[in-house]
């Protein structure tokens, strides 16, 4: 078996450096005194010292008697409390029972005044009077409605119907006939064979224009009085 020649040297070094981390040398920091041990609540924040001005202030007067106070003794009254109470009970007005209500037959009792069942608000002076803000709002709504109606009437007046005179009617009729002749001339200029989509669309367009012009000419010739809207 192979044995390294450096084995004895390695063993010697391992023995010298064995457990060298167990000690860090002599202590260089002063050890705390055992008398200064950690006490309870020592790490809690402490309140600042009380100022002298607060100490000089006097305490407020107490409404209860002090321990050193003694009641006044020896005072007697000749008043007959029995007769006085009897007279007060006879001559006094009977106490009215407090109005209550119950939620069911064998339920709990509740005060009637704070329940909201007593109509006490109808006794107010301004009961039934329309509030000022509602009156003001109604006036604003009426004013806005009136302005809207006025604007509509003004718009209708601007777009009122106007009657065409005979000269205007004749000139309009001649212009429509002239337009029809121009469209008809373009229609006559079409090729005999219409084999493409643009040609078909153009022909349909001319036919629609001719029909619309013929309809307008017929209407104007039929009606002698014509009204138009002013725009």
Residue 102, classed as helix, strand or coil, is strand
Distance from chain centroid for Cα 89: 61
Q: Examine the pLDDT at 161 and tell me if it is beyond 90.
A: no
Q: Examine the pLDDT at 19 and tell me if it is beyond 70.
A: no
**Distance of alpha carbon 231 from alpha carbon 161, whole angstroms:** 10
pLDDT of 53: 62
Residue 221 half-sphere exposure toward CB, CA atoms < 13 A: 10
The domain locations on the chain are 162-228
Mean pLDDT over 166-183 rounds to 90
pLDDT of 86: 93
Mean pLDDT over 62-70 rounds to 82
Inter-helix orientation angle 197-222/166-188, to 10°: 160
Angle at the Cα of 127 (from 121 to 130), degrees rounded to 5? 140
Mean pLDDT over 91-119 rounds to 86
What pLDDT band is residue 211 in, cutting at 50, 70 and 90?
Answer: very high
**Distance of alpha carbon 92 from alpha carbon 97, whole angstroms:** 15
Length of the chain: 231
Q: Which of the residue ranges 137-141, 160-164, 203-207, 210-214 would you say has the lowest mean pLDDT? A: 160-164
What pLDDT band is residue 198 in, cutting at 50, 70 and 90?
Answer: confident
In 92-163, alpha helices (H): 132-158
Distance from chain centroid for Cα 87: 65
């Amino acid at each position: 078996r192979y044995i390294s020649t450096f084995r004895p040297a390695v063993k010697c070094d391992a023995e010298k450096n064995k457990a060298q981390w167990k000690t860090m040398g002599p202590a260089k920091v002063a050890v705390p005194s055992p008398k200064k041990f950690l006490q309870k609540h020592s790490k809690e924040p402490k309140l600042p010292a009380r100022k002298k001005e607060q100490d000089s202030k006097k305490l407020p007067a107490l409404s209860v008697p002090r321990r050193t106070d003694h009641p006044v003794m020896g005072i007697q009254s000749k008043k007959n409390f029995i007769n006085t109470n009897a007279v007060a009970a006879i001559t006094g007005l009977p106490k009215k029972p407090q109005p209550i209500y119950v939620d069911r037959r064998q339920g709990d009792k509740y005060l009637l005044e704070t329940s909201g069942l007593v109509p006490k608000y109808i006794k107010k002076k301004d009961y039934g009077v329309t509030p000022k803000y509602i009156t003001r709002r109604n006036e604003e709504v009426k004013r806005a409605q009136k302005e809207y109606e006025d604007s509509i009437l003004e718009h209708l007046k601007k777009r009122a119907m106007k009657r065409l005179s005979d000269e205007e009617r004749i000139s309009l009729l001649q212009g429509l006939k002239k337009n029809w002749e121009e469209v008809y001339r373009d229609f006559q200029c079409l090729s005999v064979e219409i084999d493409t989509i643009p040609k078909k669309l153009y022909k349909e367009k001319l036919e629609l224009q001719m029909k619309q012009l013929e309809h307008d000419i017929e209407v104007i010739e039929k009606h002698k009085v014509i009204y138009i809207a002013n725009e």
